[in-house]
């Protein structure tokens, strides 16, 4: 296997340029590891004049990224454009149709179209690789596809978005509220100018859909993922969480049970004795439960040009060695349709925070709503005591169905004692997170 592997890179933003630079700078090391050269022969981007800190010697420039997929001097296409549709998808589809391997970090594209792209790649006899799409430089997809292939996976959960983890960490450590920390994160480059994909949980949900497919042999079903973000988390909730022995984290969780597959992204109350409670700043972490290996945890930087390009090049090295498997670990025809568990039927414990007027009968109204919906209270905390003024009341529940807690909240919010919308955060049990 001595023939040079010729690589075309579509998109020269931070990730695309970092990938070219890494392939150029590490060329001697990669040659030793692959027993062949890996050479960038073509690139495409919007602005040809921009200095990206890479050598363009011997590299052909294409104004149209689709031309890379048609270039006869390219064996492998790196898609670094981004987006779930449009030109990024066209580049990948055309490359596969032309018998070229594809490597991408595009989690949105894989979460939306991964199954059909995997089918096309198998039919063309080429690789579709996307290690960089989930958790940056953490090789979690290789873990699921190869390292733990002898295990039945029971569940996977993790901190899958560094921006949200950074914001929640800073809120707790600095005592600043959400909006102020978000502005700081944007100034530091940890959050985009429009941070909606991160803050509303969509980025993490894309990654979770991919993890679910690999863990349980499922066809990608992004629509089955329950998604909530962190915009409603307040410093007050963090203070109560600490008092109750928890830390708030945005988790992506997928679990297999007799009732179906859970796929959910939302803020969680995580027990302080759970290792993932202490993953801070921009770091990601993924925990996998296997029936043979038990619990394994993987931590590292989940974003950034360095970690992402490292994962992209790792996929390129596998392909250079002729070492690639079906994209989701199983042949596309063997992937199952997800039997998703309805969130309303999920059984769990909950943190609920009310803001009510301190007057006689308020607690009786809360107790009545709990009783009527068969919700059992575990603990209650009241902050402030000034008759006629708003006070905060926090309660945690024993396990109950989600639909029961939502009905309880709805009933209490309809009383004239409640002066702010009630907040609910799900509590994840130590037995699952350990």
In angstroms, the CA 327 to CA 8 distance is 20
Q: E strand or H helix at 47, and its extent?
A: none
The alpha carbon of residue 76 and the mean position of all alpha carbons in its chain are separated, in whole angstroms, by 26
Triad 93, 96, 102: Cα angle to 5°: 95
**How many CB atoms lie under 10 A from the CB of residue 6?**
18
State the first-to-last Cα distance of the chain, in angstroms, to the nearest integer.
45
In angstroms, the CA 114 to CA 327 distance is 8
- CB proximity list for 281: less than 8 A, separation 6 or greater: 162, 165, 166, 169
In angstroms, the CA 95 to CA 75 distance is 9
Catalytic annotation, pick one of 207, 219, 249, 401:
207
Catalytic annotation present for 207: yes
In angstroms, the CA 70 to CA 65 distance is 9
In angstroms, the CA 78 to CA 63 distance is 16
Class of residue 3 by CB neighbours under 10 A (exposed 0-12, middle 13-18, buried 19+): exposed
| DSSP letters spanning 172-203 | HHH---HHHHHHHHHHHTSS-SS-HHHHTTHH
Q: Are 215 and 144 in contact (CB under 8 A)?
A: yes
- What phi and psi values does residue 157 have, to the nearest 5 degrees? -145, 160
Query: Which of the residues are catalytic?
Result: 207
């Amino acid at each position: 296997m001595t023939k040079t592997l010729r690589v075309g890179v579509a998109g020269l933003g931070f990730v695309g340029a970092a990938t070219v630079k890494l392939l150029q700078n590490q060329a001697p090391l990669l040659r030793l590891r692959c027993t062949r050269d890996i050479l960038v022969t073509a690139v495409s981007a919007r602005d040809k004049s921009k200095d990206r800190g890479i050598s363009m010697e011997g590299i052909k420039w294409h104004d149209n990224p689709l031309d890379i997929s048609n270039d006869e001097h390219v064996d492998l296409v790196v898609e670094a454009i981004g987006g779930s549709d449009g030109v990024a998808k066209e580049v990948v589809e055309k490359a596969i149709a032309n018998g070229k391997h594809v490597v991408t970090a595009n989690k949105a594209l894989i979460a939306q179209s991964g199954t059909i792209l995997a089918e096309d790649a198998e039919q063309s006899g080429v690789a579709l690789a996307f290690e960089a799409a989930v958790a940056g430089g953490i090789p979690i997809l290789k873990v699921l596809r190869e390292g733990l292939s002898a295990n039945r996976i029971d569940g996977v959960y993790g901190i899958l978005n560094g921006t949200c983890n950074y914001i929640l960490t800073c809120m707790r450590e600095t005592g600043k509220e959400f909006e102020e920390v978000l502005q700081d994160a944007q100034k530091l480059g940890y959050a985009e100018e429009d941070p909606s994909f991160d803050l509303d949980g969509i980025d993490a949900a894309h990654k979770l859909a991919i993890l679910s497919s690999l863990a349980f042999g499922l066809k990608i079903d992004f629509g089955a993922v329950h998604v909530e973000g962190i915009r409603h988390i307040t410093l007050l909730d963090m203070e109560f969480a600490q008092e109750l022995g928890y830390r708030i984290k945005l988790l992506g969780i997928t679990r297999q049970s007799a009732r179906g597959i859970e796929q959910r992204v939302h803020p969680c109350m995580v027990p302080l004795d759970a290792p993932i409670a202490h993953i801070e700043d921009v770091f990601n972490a993924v925990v996998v439960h296997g029936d043979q290996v038990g619990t394994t945890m993987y931590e590292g930087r989940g974003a950034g040009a360095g970690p992402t390009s490292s994962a992209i090049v790792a996929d390129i090295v596998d392909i250079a060695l002729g070492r690639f498997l079906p994209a989701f670990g199983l042949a596309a025809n063997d992937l199952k349709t997800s039997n998703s568990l309805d969130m309303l039927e999920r059984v769990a414990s909950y943190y609920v925070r009310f803001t009510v007027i301190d007057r006689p009968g308020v607690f009786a109204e809360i107790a009545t709503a709990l009783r009527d919906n068969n919700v059992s209270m575990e603990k209650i905390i009241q902050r402030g005591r000034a008759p006629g003024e708003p006070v905060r009341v926090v309660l945690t529940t024993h396990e109950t169905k989600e639909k029961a807690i939502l009905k309880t909240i709805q009933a209490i919010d309809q009383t004239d004692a409640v002066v702010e919308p009630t907040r609910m955060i799900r509590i994840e049990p130590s037995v699952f997170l350990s």
